[in-house]
Every structure is written in structure tokens, then in C-alpha cells.
Amino acid sequence: MRIISVANQKGGCGKTTLAVNVAAALARLGSETLLVDLDPQAHATFALGCTEKSSETKTSYDIFRAHFDTVELNFEDLIINDRKSLSLVPANMMLSAAEINLGGINGAATILYRTLMKPFFNKYEYVIIDSPPSFGFLTLNSMYAADTIIVPMDLSYFSFNGIDSVYRVAGLLNAETGRKPSIFFVINIYDQRSNFAKELDKDAKSKIGPYLLPTKIRSSVRLREAAKLGKTIFEYDSKSSSALDFYNLTSEILTADNKSMNAIIKEFLIHAPNAGSVYVLGDFNGWQKSDANRLAKLENGEWSAHFTLDKGKYRYKFLVDDEWKTDPKNPKNEANIYGTIDSIVEV
Ligand SMILES: Nc1ncnc2c1ncn2[C@@H]1O[C@H](COP(=O)(O)OP(=O)(O)O)[C@@H](O)[C@H]1O
Ligand SMILES: [Mg+2]
């Protein structure tokens, strides 16, 4: 079984669209696939046309409820299976109660994973989890369970801080639990004609390198229409460019984990509690002061950004309120041609 979580704290970037249509593509390719709707808004349940049926079955909330109330859960009752090879654990509003109740419980982030590891779920080759637009306990459950996390990004409101928050949450999860899912990013709602989108695409590539999947899901009204009618893109318009995008994306997701990645993800961190803006500029990002190279401010006065670096040696510096600073935490440095000092990172 391979568990794929679709997550991003931002709403409207295409989590549900991706979760539903990647699950549908996997089922079409002949794999037994389970989609778990883990969002109290239940958009995935709606997008598969299962809202009414979900009132007759149990929902993903019951997975958590079984845990609080220590009641026996018959897993069969969770499943809606009205499509070939594609099953759904639906959601409803009750799930927001789980989000609240989960806070105080030990091992709260592992409940979904422990459930999916029960023999009943062995029959599924793939489990796809649609997550809510926040980094609460539901998303932590989704990310903890995952072998692979897919992060859709909407370029028109592209936030590079979003990338850093995903890495940061994954880092916390790793420190707490030892789980280390691989993380891949997908550009969604892509407008090929927009120069702005092309620029951001370039920035995204330089920041996340091979972790940015090559297929972009193009902007298409067909995807909206399909979801409104409770159909997957393959049921609604199997000849559309969107159906093609989803086949391509799905095959990339299937092989992504197997590729040996030479690149590493490096966090750049500096303590600057009073700064208004901090950038990291270096050989790896062309020393360009742009949004992609801005650090995000953390609660403790630290600033952080993650970059994907290929094997090699790089010079870099922080730009703190327009003042150049070497990395105080890094003893490695070298003089540059301007007679000042650069920090050095070697991968
Ligand atoms: N590639 C796309 N082209 C056009 N509309 C899209 C695309 N991807 C998603 N949408 C639409 O954008 C809205 C938000 O997408 P959704 O998947 O629900 O995002 P999220 O689950 O992250 O909140 C929905 O109306 C959806 O149909
Ligand atoms: Mg959604």
C-alpha cells in the first residue's frame, strides 16, 4: 500500500481537485484506490457525487470518534464503493469536532495511520488523502500517514512562504515521530499565456528543483464543471486537456519516489528579531533579491527559508534590512573578489 497525502495550508490551490482526479486516474490504471476525505468541508465527497450517500454510511469522523469513545468500528461501514476500483471514505461537518477534540490526546497525529494499517485496508494499493486548508491535527494525521506528500500550488497567488511552511511542519513531524515522507510540489491552475506565471515557474524551479513535478495542471473550466456535477474529469470529459494532465501527473507521482535525488533540501536560518525583511542570496539563486529568496519570520525571532541544492559548493550571504551579513551559525567562510567575506555551504 502506498499512502499519498495532498496537503497545503492554503485553500483554493487545488488539493481536492488533485486528490479526486489522481485517485480516479489510479483507479483507471487498474489499481484498487481509496480516497479519504479528511476535510470537514467535504468537498471531495461532493466532487464524487457522494454527499447524499454519505448520510447512510459512517464518515472519516468515525475513525477519530472510535478512538475517543473506544467503540468498535466496522471498517466496511466507512466505505462508499460505487465506481470501479475507486472507493471513498466520505467526510462531513462532524469532522471539525475531531479537529477540536484531537488537541489533548497523546499520539493524536497517528490515529489515521494506525487505522489504515489494519488488515481490512490491505486490499487497497493506493490511499489518497484530501486534507483541510490548515496545519491542524487533521492535516498532521494526513501528513503522518503519508509515504508521499503532494503539495499543489496556485501560481496566481503564489506564496513561497507556503513551501517553507510545508517543509517546516514536515521537519517538526520528523523530529517528533521519525516519519519522513517525500514531498513533491505541483503547479496547478497554470495559465500558459501569462508571463507572470512563467516567471514564478522559473523561481519555483530554482527553489525546489527536482521536487517540483514537471507536469503542470493547466487552468481549465472543465475541472470546475466536473466537480460541480459530482464527476471525475475522466467521467466528465476523458478527452480534455485536463484528463491528459492528470494522467501525466499521476504517472510522475508513481515514479517520483524511485528517482534517486542528488539534491538536498537545506534550511537557511538566522536570528534577527528586529529585522523587517531578510533574504538569503547566493550562487544557488543567482544573488537575486526576489520574493522567492525572502525568508519567513518565525515566532522566536528567527527567519527561515528552504532551498533545494544540487551537489556542489555555494557562496551565500543574508541580506538583513538591506545589510549584508555572513551566516553567524556557519564557521565556514571565504573572502570574495570584493574583499568581503561570504559564507560557504557544501553539499
Ligand atoms: N486547474 C484548474 N483549473 C480551473 N479550476 C480549477 C483548477 N484546479 C482547481 N480548480 C477550481 O478551483 C477551486 C478550488 O479548488 P479545490 O481543489 O477545491 O482547492 P482546495 O481543495 O485546495 O481548497 C474549485 O472550484 C476547483 O474546481
Ligand atoms: Mg479542498
The protein residue whose alpha carbon is closest to atom 26 in ligand 1 is 224
Mean pLDDT of 249-258: 89
- 318-321 long-range contacts (CB < 8 A, ≥24 apart) are 318/268, 318/270, 318/272, 318/278, 318/279, 318/280, 318/281, 319/278, 319/279, 319/280, 319/281, 319/289, 320/270, 320/272, 320/275, 320/277, 320/278, 321/275, 321/276, 321/277, 321/278
Find the 219 Cα to ligand 1 centroid distance in Å. Answer: 9
The set of residues, in sequence order, having a beta carbon less than 8 Å from that of 167 and lying 6+ positions away, is 183, 265, 267, 306
Torsion of CA 174, 177, 180, 183, to 10 degrees: -70
Res. 263: pLDDT tops 90: no
Query: How distant is the alpha carbon of residue 180 from its chain centre?
Result: 13
Of the chain, the end-to-end C-alpha distance in Å amounts to: 33
Give the pLDDT of residue 91. 98
pLDDT digit string (tens) for 300-315? 999 999 998 988 999 9
CA 240 to ligand 2 centroid distance, Å: 22
Rounded to whole angstroms, the Cα distance separating 39 from 133 reads 8
57 and 195 belong to one structural domain: yes
> Residue type for 211, please?
Y
Please give the single-letter amino acid code of residue 8: N
Burial classification of residue 333, based on how many CB atoms lie within 10 Å of its CB (0-12 exposed, 13-18 middle, 19 or more buried): middle
User: Do 173 and 199 have their domain in common?
Assistant: yes
Model confidence band, residue 25 (pLDDT cutoffs 50, 70, 90): very high
Eight-class DSSP state of 328: T
Number of helices (H), then strands (E), in the chain: 11, 15
Residue range 120-137: mean pLDDT, rounded: 96
Residues in contact with ligand 1 by the CB-under-6-Å rule are 11-17, 43, 133, 188-189, 217, 219-220, 223-224, 227
Q: What is the pLDDT at residue 113?
A: 97
Confirm if 235 and 223 have CB atoms less than 8 A apart: no
For residue 299, what pLDDT band results from cuts at 50, 70 and 90? confident
Of 41, 192, 223, best ligand 1 pocket probe by most atoms within 8 Å of the beta carbon: 223
The Cα 106–Cα 7 span in angstroms is 23
Are 268 and 120 found together in one domain? no
Domain shared by 301 and 247, yes or no: no
CB 132 within 8 A of CB 112: no
HSE toward the beta carbon, residue 180, CA cutoff 13 A: 4
244 CA distance to ligand 1 middle (Å): 17
Tell whether 270 and 164 lie within a shared domain.
no
Predicted structure pTM score: 0.90
| CATH number of the domain encompassing residue 226 | 3.40.50.300
Number of C-beta neighbours around residue 235 at 10 A? 16
Can you name the residues that pair with 128 across neighbouring β-strands? Answer: 4, 35
pLDDT band at 155 (very low <50, low <70, confident <90, very high): confident
Last residue of a domain, one of 232, 256, 280: 256
Q: Where are the beta strands (DSSP E) in 41-111?
A: 80-83, 86-89
Residue entry with cell 489510479: 26
Domain with 331 in it:
264-346
Last residue of a domain, one of 256, 286, 314: 256
Radius of gyration of the chain (CA): 21
Cell digits for 144?
Answer: 503522518
Q: Are residues 76 and 30 in the same domain?
A: yes
* pLDDT for the residue 156: 66
For 347, counting Cβ atoms within 10 Å of its Cβ (0-12 exposed, 13-18 middle, 19+ buried), the class is middle
Higher per-residue confidence, 347 vs 246: 246
Residue 167 has pLDDT above 80, yes or no: yes
Smallest CA separation from ligand 1 atom 13, residue? 12
**Which of 224, 228, 240, 245 to mutate for ligand 1's pocket (most ligand atoms within 8 Å of CB)?**
224
Please give the average per-residue pLDDT across 146-167, as a whole number: 84
Sheet holding 302-309, edge to edge: 264-271, 302-309, 296-297
Using the predicted structure, report yes or no on whether residue 261 has a pLDDT greater than 90: no
Of 236, 256, 276, which residue sits at a domain end? 256
* C-alpha 81 – ligand 2 centre gap (Å): 21
- Domain count for the chain: 2
Indicate if the pLDDT at residue 228 is higher than 90: yes
Average pLDDT over residues 54-81: 93
CATH of the domain at 300: 2.60.40.10
Do 180 and 145 fall into the same domain? yes
